[in-house]
Chains A and B, each alone.
Chain A
């Protein structure tokens, strides 16, 4: 597979739980676990780092030897994929269907037409049109064992990867911390507790503008939190501020999208999808989230 260098981590104990800290997927990661003893806590650390590193090495767009990059480099030819990749791709396809085409893992190439450093840009309509030819999940040939992209197409699982990793890591370490574990990979969170009377973890939701005051607080025993949106990445067109989430149907950033959407649901993967999809609904993000019957925070 890819090179999976061991991730360095730190382990410390507080009054009520152990804290494992490491860095992966370009984010600070933290595991809070109520383990019986230090030896179990160390096992949690090792398992979590290994699984996160494995998923990153396998699915990251930034690693040359990842499965995703192998598929991208061989666009035009069929690439056989293993069970886990097939499941992720099948999930990506279902996301495409459920979102009416707004959530599309082939839309990454559109970022070549945009620069999101906050400055003014004049988008090139021809460039966007030609990039759109290489965007569209229905153009992909995918079955249970392999995938074939059209030449020029690219897969980007960045919208699924971190949340998937949070769910996988939590599943792996849950039995070592039956009183509760919370996995936090750069803000994508999953908590699992085997015992019904476990204490909740209190999670603060930060203001997207970076002010110290938390705008919300969630108590989590079993469940997940995912956030979409990043206030620091935007561009300006004709003086109008546009976020960095691109609508794959038009090639343009979604108009009037919220600054950030936080969703609480049962899995991190599901919460992440709903949060991203809410952003893609632009001005009616709140209405969309309301219709799902979930708890959410939407900041404009």
Chain B
């Protein structure tokens, strides 16, 4: 199982690096960012709801984090 995880990690890192290289050719011009500027496309859209969700799942499940960082501890887990 550990080997599989190591392989997956390696593949992800290689994929991420390849993606970063390919990234320079992908994207939009400044004047094509109208949709990206919409509220519901912002990275912090629904951030308060997401934070509440993360707190609930942190106290009911064994996994934590992934999306952004943990904001701090609580006694619920």
Classify A-B as touching or not with yes or no (CB < 8 A): yes
Q: Which residues of A contact B (CB under 8 A)?
A: 90, 94, 97-98
Across the interface, name the chain B residue whose C-beta is closest to A98. B31
B37 within 8 A of A: no
User: CA A94 – CA B30 in complex, angstroms?
Assistant: 8
B10-33 interface code vs A (CB 8 A; 1 in, 0 out): 000000000000000000011100
Which of chain A's residues have a CB closer than 8 A to the CB of B29? Answer: 94, 97
Which of chain B's residues have a CB closer than 8 A to the CB of A90? Answer: 30
The count of A-to-B residue pairs whose CB atoms sit within 8 angstroms is 6
B49-72 interface code vs A (CB 8 A; 1 in, 0 out): 000000000000000000000000
Which of chain A's residues have a CB closer than 8 A to the CB of B30? Answer: 90, 94
Q: List 5 A-B contacts (CB under 8 A).
A: A90-B30, A94-B29, A94-B30, A97-B29, A98-B31
User: CA A132 – CA B30 in complex, angstroms?
Assistant: 28
User: CA A98 – CA B29 in complex, angstroms?
Assistant: 11
Across the interface, name the chain A residue whose C-beta is closest to B30. A94
Instruction: Kindly list the 4 A-B residue pairs having the minimum CB-CB distance in the complex, ordered from nearest.
Output: A94-B30, A97-B29, A94-B31, A94-B29
Which of chain B's residues have a CB closer than 8 A to the CB of A97? Answer: 29
User: CA A166 – CA B40 in complex, angstroms?
Assistant: 34
Closest-CB distance, A143 to chain B (whole angstroms): 11
Closest-CB distance, B40 to chain A (whole angstroms): 25
Closest-CB distance, B50 to chain A (whole angstroms): 31
Closest-CB distance, B73 to chain A (whole angstroms): 39
Closest-CB distance, A60 to chain B (whole angstroms): 26
User: CA A260 – CA B29 in complex, angstroms?
Assistant: 31
Which of chain A's residues have a CB closer than 8 A to the CB of B31? Answer: 94, 98
Closest-CB distance, A98 to chain B (whole angstroms): 7
Across the interface, name the chain B residue whose C-beta is closest to A94. B30
User: CA A97 – CA B29 in complex, angstroms?
Assistant: 10
User: CA A90 – CA B30 in complex, angstroms?
Assistant: 10
B31-46 interface code vs A (CB 8 A; 1 in, 0 out): 1000000000000000
User: CA A122 – CA B13 in complex, angstroms?
Assistant: 64
User: CA A245 – CA B29 in complex, angstroms?
Assistant: 28
User: CA A94 – CA B28 in complex, angstroms?
Assistant: 12
Across the interface, name the chain B residue whose C-beta is closest to A91. B30
Closest-CB distance, A270 to chain B (whole angstroms): 11
Which of chain B's residues have a CB closer than 8 A to the CB of A98? Answer: 31
User: CA A90 – CA B29 in complex, angstroms?
Assistant: 11
Which of chain B's residues have a CB closer than 8 A to the CB of A94? Answer: 29-31
Closest-CB distance, A266 to chain B (whole angstroms): 15
User: CA A94 – CA B29 in complex, angstroms?
Assistant: 9
User: CA A182 – CA B29 in complex, angstroms?
Assistant: 32
User: CA A98 – CA B30 in complex, angstroms?
Assistant: 11
Closest-CB distance, B32 to chain A (whole angstroms): 11
Closest-CB distance, B27 to chain A (whole angstroms): 14
Across the interface, name the chain B residue whose C-beta is closest to A90. B30
Closest-CB distance, B34 to chain A (whole angstroms): 15
Closest-CB distance, B8 to chain A (whole angstroms): 34
User: CA A110 – CA B30 in complex, angstroms?
Assistant: 29
User: CA A221 – CA B30 in complex, angstroms?
Assistant: 28
Closest-CB distance, A240 to chain B (whole angstroms): 37
Closest-CB distance, A89 to chain B (whole angstroms): 13
User: CA A7 – CA B31 in complex, angstroms?
Assistant: 37
